[in-house]
Chain A
Amino acid sequence: ETGVTQSPTHLIKTRGQQVTLRCSSQSGHNTVSWYQQALGQGPQFIFQYYREEENGRGNFPPRFSGLQFPNYSSELNVNALELDDSALYLCASILTAGAYTGELFFGEGSRLTVL
């Protein structure tokens, strides 16, 4: 039990549609990251938010965007969905206050299928 919850767990969309995935992390974990895990691959870093500001981004196009809210929840939005966006989307929180532990606390993921 990591204290990170994601919704929805599964969803199906069609090409061109938009999707919003949600994440609620632990109190005190003021950094949240989103990862995309395609089948047979490791998680790939999409972006990271700290105190409601994006402060790091991986190699993903601008149609991937996010928000972080003061209550430690966050969203990942993907516009103009493509077939290759089908993947497991993982939210991870990090305790960045105090001593660095570096551990990512992952949620169980949202599995997106784009048809």
Chain B
Amino acid sequence: DQQVKQNSPSLSVQEGRISILNCDYTNSMFDYFLWYKKYPAEGPTFLISISSIKDKNEDGRFTVFLNKSAKHLSLHIVPSQPGDSAVYFCAASDSGTYKYIFGTGTRLKVLA
């Protein structure tokens, strides 16, 4: 049972345009969400987080939106840059456990 789903395995976007990566979850106990970026041969790097008391969190070019009723979150990258090309994972947890459930990832390719 996949509690966190990233239904798009890959996404290609032109440099300068917006990248939107989506993530759905099923467990209503999840109240903390993270996005990670991963390059080959490196560990995942933290990008941005959001707790369930918010519906939006912004950090520079990265914005995460949370729709609790739809159990859906999205990561917006504006403007997209070639260096953003990587695999992006969303992760969710019940903050009482620190146990994170990860999605399967979306490979983003930003075309110059």
- A48 in the interface (beta carbon within 8 A): yes
Q: Which residues of A contact B (CB under 8 A)?
A: 2, 4, 6, 31, 33, 35, 40-45, 48, 56, 58, 90, 94, 96, 100-109
Q: How far is the CA of A61 from the CA of B92 in the complex (A)?
A: 23
Which residues of A sit under 8 angstroms from B95, Cβ to Cβ? Answer: 100, 102
Q: Check A94–B98 contact: CB distance below 8 A.
A: yes
Q: Out of B41, B51, B103, name the residue touching A42 (CB < 8 Å).
A: B103
The answer to whether B43 and A33 have CB atoms under 8 Å apart is no
**Given A40-B104, A102-B49, A103-B49, A90 contacting B44 (CB threshold 8 A):** yes
Q: How many A-B residue pairs have CB under 8 A?
A: 70
Residues from 10 to 49 in B contacting A, C-beta threshold 8 Å:
32, 34, 36, 41-46, 49
The 8 closest A-B pairs by CB, nearest first: A42-B102, A106-B43, A108-B43, A102-B32, A43-B102, A106-B44, A42-B104, A56-B99
Number of interface residues of B (CB under 8 A): 26
- B positions within 8 Å CB-CB of A: 4, 6, 32, 34, 36, 41-46, 49, 51, 89, 91, 93, 95, 97-105
A28 CB to nearest B CB, Å: 15
Q: Which residue of B lies closest to A106 (CB)?
A: B43
Q: Could you say which of B32, B36, B104 contacts A41, with CB atoms under 8 Å apart? A: B104
Query: Which of A4, A35, A96, A102 has the most CB atoms of chain B within a 10 A radius of its CB?
Result: A102
Q: A103-B49, A109-B43 are known contacts. Are A48 and B102 too (CB-CB below 8 A)?
A: no
Closest to A108 in B: B43
10 cross-chain CB contacts under 8 A: A2-B43, A41-B105, A43-B102, A56-B97, A102-B93, A103-B46, A103-B49, A106-B36, A107-B43, A109-B42
- Contact A104/B103 with A31-B98, A96-B98 known, Cβ cut-off 8 Å: no
* Contact yes or no, B89 A43, CB < 8 A: yes
